[in-house]
Amino acid sequence: MSGLARLHIAFPIPDGPAAGGYQFLRTLRTALRRQFRYAETPDDADAILFNSYQAIPAALAIRRRRPELAFIHRVDGPIRLYNRMDDPRDDLTSRANALLADGTIFQSEYSRASNADLGFVPENPTAIITNTADPDIFKPRKSEAPAERLRIVATCMSTNPKKGFEEYAWLDRNLDFTRFEMTFVGKSPVLFQNIRMLPPQPPSGLAAVLREADVFVTASRKDPCSNSLCEALSVGLPAVAMRDGGHPEIVGAGGLLFDRIEEVPALLERMRTEYAALARAIVRPAAADIAQAYCEFAAQVCATPRRAKRPSLFASWRAHRIFGGH
């Protein structure tokens, strides 16, 4: 096959507020449709995109019926690093890759290397393609100087402790709120006293809150490619981010990194003097470019000699037993 492949996403994508992976797949599907590269059904596709350890029985059913199609696996994590070391989902992802995948996409170099460190090295072709935000929603805000009382925002749809809540609680206690104001949007297991708290917002509402801020802060750890960070940068907010996971790759020159939360107040003060330069240095790939990268990689996989996989009924039964609850 030459050119670009037509992709079908074998994964249910909900409407409304959702975790980052869902948001990205929704954005990818929209971009593929605009390029006339999205197949609404597997029968019209050149390649099937399946996600992590999720909806594997549905992908397996397509594989049994259409074994000639290329199956592309979008990998997350390692989940063990941002959850707990006995989390089974990385093993499920590895099994799904061996059973179904003809090609594998990692969301960051951090994710590829960390998965390899834990023993997951796909035997099929791989690529690193980052996430991006919906350009119709997370539009760049008007370029302007930051407010005198610097407006900080953090967002999170998960209550996982490694999403930075201990660090946000430290900011709640220690920031000089005569010089800063801070808003948290999403789900939090911590009740803040000085940080304004907003519940999860639909994408348009979240984008509006981001556009009203000056700086995005994230203290999450072991995030392979934070959608929250991608959305904030897409709006044009320089970031102050934990030097961990995929954050350094995503932020690039468009923000400042920290190792300890105690460094953040000084970095926020530094933001005041370097704000214009940091905002100009933000680089986020367009959704259209990410969609094209997915199609180009799928076409590469389609053109790579491979043996068509047709899982047996026994393999299908075992997969339903293993993945059915996930």
Please, how many CA atoms are within 13 Å of residue 23, restricted to the half-sphere of its CB?
28
Kindly state whether residues 90 and 166 are assigned to the same domain: no
Kindly state whether residues 125 and 246 are assigned to the same domain: no
C-alpha span between 180 and 165 (Å, rounded) = 18
Tell me the residue ranges of DSSP E strands in 187-264: 196-198, 215-218, 239-242, 255-258
Kindly state whether residues 44 and 123 are assigned to the same domain: yes
C-alpha span between 211 and 222 (Å, rounded) = 26
How would you class 171 by CB atoms within 10 Å of its CB: exposed for 0-12, middle for 13-18, buried for 19 or more? buried
Kindly state whether residues 230 and 306 are assigned to the same domain: no
pLDDT number for residue 23 = 83
Kindly state whether residues 251 and 160 are assigned to the same domain: yes
pLDDT number for residue 145 = 84
Residue 83 lies in a domain: yes
pLDDT number for residue 72 = 97
Diameter of the chain by CA atoms? 66
Residue 142 lies in a domain: no
C-alpha span between 92 and 300 (Å, rounded) = 26
Kindly state whether residues 188 and 122 are assigned to the same domain: no
Kindly state whether residues 170 and 254 are assigned to the same domain: yes
Kindly state whether residues 163 and 179 are assigned to the same domain: yes
Which structural domain, as residue segments, surrounds residue 262? 150-280
Tokens (6 digits) for 88 = 């089974």
Residues with Cβ within 8 Å of residue 32, at least 6 apart in sequence:
7, 38, 291, 294, 295
Residue 306 lies in a domain: yes
- Name the residue among 272, 239, 269 with its Cα closest to residue 256: 239
Total number of domains constituting the chain: 2
Q: For the domain that residue 158 is a member of, what is the CATH number?
A: 3.40.50.2000
How would you class 158 by CB atoms within 10 Å of its CB: exposed for 0-12, middle for 13-18, buried for 19 or more? middle
C-alpha span between 143 and 276 (Å, rounded) = 9
Kindly state whether residues 53 and 79 are assigned to the same domain: yes
- Name the residue among 48, 47, 68 with its Cα closest to residue 5: 47
Residues with Cβ within 8 Å of residue 81, at least 6 apart in sequence:
114, 222
Whether 77 and 93 have beta carbons less than 8 Å apart is answered as: yes
Kindly state whether residues 115 and 174 are assigned to the same domain: no
Kindly state whether residues 195 and 107 are assigned to the same domain: no
Residue 298 lies in a domain: yes
pLDDT number for residue 224 = 95
C-alpha span between 281 and 236 (Å, rounded) = 10
pLDDT number for residue 100 = 92
Residue 1 lies in a domain: no
Residue 264 lies in a domain: yes
Residue 215 lies in a domain: yes
Residue 212 lies in a domain: yes
Kindly state whether residues 44 and 66 are assigned to the same domain: yes
C-alpha span between 69 and 89 (Å, rounded) = 25
pLDDT number for residue 43 = 95
pLDDT number for residue 142 = 82
pLDDT tens over the chain, length 326 residues? 446 789 999 988 866 555 556 789 999 999 999 999 999 999 999 999 999 998 898 999 999 899 999 999 999 989 999 888 888 899 999 999 999 999 999 999 999 999 999 999 999 999 999 999 999 999 998 877 899 999 999 999 889 889 999 999 999 999 999 999 999 999 999 999 999 999 999 889 999 999 999 999 999 999 999 999 999 999 999 999 999 999 999 999 999 999 999 999 999 999 999 999 999 999 989 999 999 999 999 999 999 886 666 555 445 545 555 565 55
